[in-house]
Each structure stands twice: as C-alpha cells, then as structure tokens.
Chains A and B, each alone.
Chain A
Amino acid sequence: MSTLAIGLPFIPGWDQLHPFIADLCLIGTIVAILLTPFFTRMANVACAVVALVGVGISLLALLVFGGGSTGLFFRGLLVADQFAVLWKVMLLVFVAGVIFMWFTTSMSTMHEGDGPEFFTLLIGATLGMSLMASTSNLLMLVIAVEMSSLPSYVLAGFRKTHRVGAEASLKYVLFGAVTSAMMIYGVSMLYGLYGTLHAGEVAKAMQAAGAGGSVLLIVAMLGLIIGIGFKISAVPFHFWCPDVFEGAGVDVAMFLSVASKGGALALLLRVLMEIASGLGYRNVPGVSLTALCVTIGVLGAITATVGNTAAFVQTNIKRLLAYSSIAHAGYMLCALSLLVQHNNQLATASGPVQLVGSAQAILLYLAVYLFMNLGAFTVAGLIWRVTGSEDINDYAALGRRAPLLAASMAIFMFSFVGLPPLAGFVAKLNLMVVLARNGGWWWALVVVIGINTIFSLYYYLRVVKVMYLSESDREDVAANPLGVGLAMASALMLVILFIGWGPLNRLATNYGRMYLSSQSAATGATAMAESR
C-alpha cells in the first residue's frame, strides 16, 4: 500500500468512520464551542458546558460504537485497536475532570469572552492527543503531535497579564519548535532511507535491506525519539515542563501533566512496537533492537532519577508536581523498553493483534496516574483560589484549616510514592513485575525504580509534613465544595482501584492488545526463512 499515491477521491463510509467516532465528536464539539458565543452573553460558562457535554457525548459514542474494529483505516493513516480505545476513554474521562475542575477554580478569574478560545484550544489539543494513540504512520504522527502542541503553547500562556505565563509559553514554543524540527528531520530521513511512511513497512524494509546506512538510521531514530520525548518531557528535553506548569493556569498544567504525556507515551509505544515486531523481535544485521531497548530504558531511568532529585528543592506546588510528573513519565518510559523478550512471548500466533506487556503496564499506570494528578492539581487549584498562593509553605496546618482537602492531598502524595493501600502502589508494582519478567538487565530498571521510590518519599512527604506537622494560626480555607468533592472522589478512587486491582488488571490486560501491521508479514517472513 503506497500512502502518498493519488487515487480516486476517498470518501469514508461508516465502516471507516466508526472506530474514530470519538475524534469526530470532538471536532463537532469544537464547532459547537465556536458557535456558542453567538447565542449567549455568558460565553465562558456556556462554552464550558458545551465542552463538557461534547466530551461526554464523545465518550458515550466511543463506548457504544467505538470498539470492535481492529486494523488500518483511512488508507493506513489511522489504526484502530483496543489499546487506542482504552487510552481514548481515559483521556476523555480526564478532560471531563479538567473541565469540571475549571468550574471550581479558574472560572471566576477568567475574562468574560475568553472561554470560547480556551475551550476550543483545549478540545483541539485533546483531539491531537487522541489521534496520537491511533497512528503508526509517520506523517500522521507529525500531524498529531503538532495538533496537540500548537494549542498547548497558547494554553500555557493563556493568563495574558501574567508575566510568568508569557515566559512559560515562549519557552514552550521555542523548545517545541526545535524538537519538532528534529522529529520531522528524522521522519523525512526514514522516508528517504526506506521509501515509506509506515512504521511497520519501515521495519520490514529494515529487515530486508539490513543496515542501509547506520548513521543515518541512528540520526533518524534519535530525531523521532527527541520529538516524542519532548512531549513526554523525558530528560534532557524536560526543561519546559516545570516552567510551563508554574506559568500556566492550574487547569492547563493538570491537562498537560496527564494528557500530553500519556498521548506521547502511547504514540511512542506504538511506533516502537511496530518496529520491533517488524524486525521479528530480534536484531538484524546492521539494525540493533537491543540498542533501541537500552536507549529507551536508560532514558527512562535517567528521567525518573532527574525528576525525583530535582523535585527535592521545589517550594512551588505546581513545580513539584511538574517534576513528579517527569519522574512518573520516566517510570512509564522504562516499560517502553520491553521490546524484546517478554512482548514476544506474549505474542499469540493468531494474527496481527497482540497482547503487549508494556501496553498493559502503561494503561494500568495511566489509569491510576490520571486520578492522582486530577486530585492533586484540584487541591492545589482550590487552595490557590482561596489563598492566592502556590507555595508549599503556605499549606501549613492545612490539616486543621481544611481537613478534607488535606486528607485527600495526603492520600495523593502517598499514592504518588507508591504506598499501599493506594492504587499508586498497584500501578508501580505491576510495572515492576512486567519489567522483572524479562529477567536479566531489566532487573536493573526494577532496582532503579525502587531506589527512586525512596528518593521520592522525601519530597512528597514534605507536603504532608507541612500540612499536618507544621503549626500555623492562619484562618480556615473555605474551598469550593464541588472541588472538594472532586478531590475526595479521586482519593476514594485510589482506594477502590487498590482493592479492585483484579478488575483493573483484567481491563488493562484485555485492552493491552495492539494492532501491529508489521506482525503477520514479519512472522511469515521468519517462517519462510526458517523453512529454507
């Protein structure tokens, strides 16, 4: 299948459209948001409601029509499989949480009339992040990444009168532009080397042609990893993350912490898996899958370590959560390094749809991570709303001043560390088990994650310490009750997901199945090679 071939006009039918019903609904939502100001004077609230309803409809449509199809669609530009479905479900639930949280924190400070822009950008970025999980085409990959990045740049600087926000936005744009350029450079090189934009076809070509110019290949792969690594905020492409989180509104920071990173992780996982399965899960002459594994694993280990150590000195809660999100992205990156043994063992002979260990680990981790971030940022936002401060030291004696918020926050912090009886522990343990199953050097990653957990205890616990152990005679914090409800619901969710690890695990395992277009052909080729 040649991707760029010009043929008859392509008119997709329902069979092509229904796996992407959620994305279509999001597009509809954007249009609806843009039209809303014509009908009402209270555009901010109206747009928020429209966005929330739109996200709800997308979620419902996805659950009703979205599943069931697996394979390549839109002439190979998009992929539909269960992995993408679950990621989209989580993304939409999370975005609904973000909008809900907007009502309780930023609503009253937002300029009247800014709402339509804000929610258009938010839903637009969501669309990009949703598409990230369902493509393995290199061109579509670039489009999806840009589609999520460009609105994010604006969102980061959305507090227009805020100097720090403007600085953050500019940093974000500059960083993003450079890494995008590298990514596009890498992609074009891959196209030049192998003449196709399909990650799977690229891998097959690699297997057939061998090296084909190792230096070029390394540069191309690095470009790709850098571009996506920027979205994940993997070290050393993470510098934007704390500044943007500090400068942006709390809702935007929360949105970026999960949606942007999760989408990019899903994208990277799919591309890597396509390549790995195209290569038959082993090194071919001139193309070292091992090197790729090691690169990703080391990147993950460094990211986690840097994130955790840099968080030590933070006094701003949003910066602290930024470094924490870098660290957690690092843990998940470690899982992406499982390109060889374990995923291969899981591969069933029954066709191109595979159960992928790292997909399972990442889905489960994201499902838990989502609620931790949702809750922690909500608490930070609510307190900022009342006290106007994001300094952790101003959280002193919160245990007395806002008992429910403090208790929820403590639960989020302990869950971030990964202590039972909270779901953060389950997610981390599952990740470690999946890594350890490979044996050998993956044990090193397990140990790195373990040591990082000890590092991380100190700064997460500092928040708890300030809230409960420090004295303060400041007045009570009367936070928005809806927001408190959201925080408590997230906290409760963490306990429920811990006890209900069984169902959660089943869900992640069932949906950890990826469609890998390169698989059938590759196994066929291997079989042929072996029969000869």
Chain B
Amino acid sequence: MDFLRHNLLTILIFLPMVGALVLLGLRTRDQVRWTAVGVTAATFLLSLLLFATYDWGQKGPYAYVQHDASGNAIHNSGVVQMVQQASWIPAFNIQYKVGIDGLSFPLVMLSTFICFLSCIASWNIQKMTKGYMALFLFLETGILGVFLSLDFFLFYVFFEVSLLPMYFLIGIWGGPRKEYAAIKFFLYTLVGSIGLLIVLIGTYLYSRGFNGDPNGTFDLVTLASPQFQAHLGTKIALASAVAKTFFVLLMIGFLIKVPAVPVHTWLPDAHVEAPTPISMILAAILLKMGGYGIFRIAYPLYPEAGKHLWLVFAVIGVVSIIYGALCAMAQTDFKKLVAYSSVSHMGFVTLGAAMMTPAAVNGALFMMIAHGITSAMMFFIVGVIYERAHHRELSRFGGLATTMPVYTGFSTVGCFANLGLPGLCGFIGEVMVLIGAFQAARPDSILMQQSQGGAYPWIITLAVISCFGVILTAGYMLWTIQRVFFGPEKPEYMGFAEVDQREVAILTPLTVMAIALGVLPWLMFFVFTQQTVSALFRILGVNV
C-alpha cells in the first residue's frame, strides 16, 4: 500500500503504455479487446484510489508549494500533492516530476473514466483491432501524462505524445475524408506546439539565477510562484512586450486545442471523420488539455501579461460562445452540430479564465468536467444512431421516440445536460462563469483594479452578450431533439434495434454523472479545488 501511495501517479501514467506493449504480443481479436478494456478498467480503478491518498485537510494560506526562508520549495507542502520526482537531464535541470492538485484531480478522474467507457465503445472496431487498441492505450498515457506532469518539459513531451496516436486513430479508422481531417488536426496542433516550445525555451532561460541556481528550471510549481514573478521582474518588465508575446504564444497553443474561434476549424473536420469512441475522447479529454494548460501554465507563468491582455481573450471567449452556437444551429449533420456545440461550450472556459474572478475560474473548471461528461455522451448518442442509420442527416431523422424509447430517454438527458438545464451538470458551469463575469465588474476585481475602472463597460457588455449564448444553446438543442426524436414515425427507422446492453452500460454511468454533478455540484467544488484556485489567485496577486 505504501508502495502504491508513493508511485500511484507514475503507475497511472505508464500502466496503459505497458498494456499497449503487452497487447502487441497477443493473437486473437478477443484477447486484444478484453486486455484493452481490462487495462483501462484497472487504470480507472487505480485512479479511484486517489480519493483515499489525497490529503484533504489543507490549511490556508494556500500556495502551490510553500517555500522556506531561503526560497527553496518544501516538498508536498502546498496544494500540489503526491509529488514524485527524479532528475532526468541534470544539465538542463529537467526532472521527471508528477503531482496532483485540485486542477488536475478532476481531469484525471474524467480521463480514466471516459477512456474506460470509450474503450468499451470501441468494442466493434473491425479493422486492425490490435493497432487500434495499442494506439488507444498509448493515447491514454499521453493524456494522463499531460494532466499529471509538473515539469514544463515533461508536460510538453506528453502534450506532443498525445498527438501522434490521435493522428493515426483519425487517419486510419476515420470516415471518408479522414486523411484531410487527420493532417489538419496535426498541423494545427503543431503550430501551437511550436509557440509553446519557444516559450519553454524562453522561460527556461529567464529562470536562470532564480534561487541562486545558475541553471534554469522547468519546474512548473517553482515557476508558478510569486517568488518567481519577483525574479522574472528583475529580467524583464512583467508586462513588457516579451512577456506579452510569451503569454500570447502560450494562449495560441492552448486555444488551438480548446478550440476557440478563429482557430477552431480543425475540430468539426476531426470530429466528423473520427470514429465514435475517438470523438468521445477528443471532445471529452483532448480539448481539456487546452483549458488545463491555460490554468496550469499560461496564467501562472505570465499573470501580468494576462491581466493586460484580458480583453483579447474575453472577446475570443464570447465570440466562441456565440459563433459556435450559431454554427451549431446551422448544421445539418448531427455530429457536426455536437462538434460546434463543443466550440460554444469551451468558449465559457476561455471567458472564465479571462475574467479572472474566483467564481469565473471555478465555473470554467467545472465547465471542463461537465462538458467532458456531456460531450462524450452526445458523441456516443450520435454514434449509436449512426451505426444503425448509416447517416447523420438531421433532416432525415424523426420519430425515433417510439421506436427506441430507452435511447430517446438517455438522449434527452444528454441534450438537456448539454444545453444547461438546471439540475444537470451543464447548468452549473455556465452559470458560475456568467456570475463570475458579472462579478468582474465589481470595483475590487482584478480587472477593475488593473484598468482603474475603465474596463467596466467592456465587462458588462461581454457578460451580457455571453448570456445570449445560453439561449442559443437551448435553441439548437431543443430543435435537435425535436427533429431527431419527435414528429411522425418514419418507416425506414421502424426496424431499428433498441440500445443493447453494452450501449446502456456506457450511457448509464454518463447519465448518472450528468445528474449527480448537476444536483450535487459540491462534488466538484471539493475543498481542494478551492485551495488550488486560491493558490492560483495568489500568483495573480489577490488573496481569496
């Protein structure tokens, strides 16, 4: 048990990869499928152990990590816990360092959960099952690595590692335009990654001399501290053009992944072509890597630049919300509609980050989890009907409620959760972000202090506009329900089989989570999230 406690995070990251290697040696298709499901299930169960090993009783004032008098970080003393580290490349001070805090905890849980479910959803993959499952597990390692690494270099490595299997999974197992979609996804993400790489090098070079260490550091916990900001201030002005450039490069890298308008165009293509389980992972987890990066790296490393450039990213967030919703409304393809609704929902995350109030940030974090649940559910729902009808044209559907009542029940819950009906998970996130956005107009908020009150009309305008996103979302979701499930029965869909046990097994946990997070939102607002948000705001220069 003690062994497990110390190595749990490392085991979590590399267990799927080991599983992938084992899988390559297997012969029959059934062996491969069962092993893959077994590995993802084991990873999920192991991640549940995190609840037991995490220390909940942190006392404030919160910081990512506490420093002793001489400025050295004290191990496992802040909100970042279960840290495991080892020196990797001493010449560059690169470490293998993993740890978990309120920011990564829910996302890790979400990842193992969704990976497990979408692995079951992959049951019917016919073509090269072994290659598919191996890449799938490899992808899970990349994802968990991103959420758990606390070293910038390690983060970057996992960020890229998660890219390669995705390219193949879309490119080989995708739909008719898979090649185009796969390379578009790859190119877009790589453009963002190069920006990240430049910031990685720059931050490393600026961190030389911090704590008297002539070498720089990639340690995200060390870098995300007020002490480092003070050090950075001696090298460049904290709101100088350099800092702003770095911040913008980071944001571009992450916003491509989120994705935000105008760099979202890879998403509809990738989703439409990807097989259902991969769409689930893409929407539920991969997009969150962008949001996670914003909160883990962009704002903690260059907070001053973030304060100065808040308007740019708030506008991007609002535009994503509205434009994404309008695009979703105009779609005739069911899957594309869900894809655009992702753009719209993730806009709330961008907006929440840019507004920099505790409520908005909490809302954005909640939104990531809620969207992870609902988008996975929606894509699976689309997959179920596509498997039967072999098309996704919204206008050709209708009257499924009578043929497939159980399926319709699940779908309705999914759609309502997606549109943000109170009592379901989508609601909490949206409402928290909107409340937070309005709170930013209060005179003591970071943005108002920063602009000496000048930001007031902007904040109010943006907050009001983003409220309309909620209405638009309700509009297209309700219209979808009506077009697909209600109306007169169509003869060609009469013979459709009801959802089978496997499909119910996937939809049920998702439905349960959608309702549970909706009625008991404190499930998410665990103390540790607040501790982490509080630590984040300390770097932004505010105590909350």
Binding site for B on A (CB under 8 A): 414, 419-421, 425, 429, 432-433, 436-437, 439, 446-447, 450-451, 453-454, 457-458, 461, 465, 468-469, 501-502, 505-506, 509
Contact = CB atoms under 8 A, between A and B. Distances in A.
A127 B21 CA distance: 43
A450 B197 contact: yes
B90 interface: yes
B198 A447 contact: yes
B183 interface: yes
Contact of A454 (B88, B92, B178, B191): B191
Given A414-B164, A420-B160, A457-B190, A432 B197 contact: yes
B164 to A, nearest CB: 7
A465 B187 contact: no
Q: Tell me if B's interface is mostly helix, strand, loop or mixed.
A: helix
B198 A446 contact: yes
B171 interface: yes
Measured as residues with beta carbon below 8 angstroms from the partner, the interface class of chain B is 20 to 34
B115 interface: no
Main SS at interface, chain A: helix
B398 to A, nearest CB: 36
Nearest to A403: B131
Contacts of A447: 198
B194 interface: yes
B91 A465 contact: no
Contacts of B92: 433, 505
B171 A468 contact: yes
A184 B179 CA distance: 51
B278 interface: no
A410 to B, nearest CB: 9
Contacts of B186: 457, 461
Contact of A433 (B157, B167, B205): B205
30 contacts: A414-B164, A420-B156, A420-B160, A420-B161, A421-B160, A425-B157, A425-B160, A432-B197, A433-B204, A433-B205, A446-B198, A446-B201, A447-B198, A450-B197, A450-B198, A453-B190, A454-B190, A454-B194, A461-B186, A468-B168, A469-B172, A469-B178, A469-B179, A501-B89, A502-B88, A502-B89, A502-B90, A502-B91, A506-B91, A509-B91
Interface string B164-192: 10011001100000110011001100110
Contact of A461 (B156, B172, B183): B183
A447 B245 CA distance: 13
B130 to A, nearest CB: 11
B453 interface: no
B163 A419 contact: yes
B91 A450 contact: no
B201 A432 contact: yes
A457 B163 CA distance: 13
Given A433-B201, A447-B198, A502-B90, 10 more contacts: A414-B164, A433-B204, A433-B205, A436-B202, A439-B205, A454-B194, A469-B182, A502-B88, A502-B91, A509-B91
B235 to A, nearest CB: 11
Given A451-B194, A457-B190, A465 B179 contact: yes
B206 to A, nearest CB: 10
Nearest to A505: B91
B452 to A, nearest CB: 34
B182 to A, nearest CB: 7
Contacts of A501: 88-89, 94
Nearest to B183: A461
B171 A469 contact: yes
A407 to B, nearest CB: 10
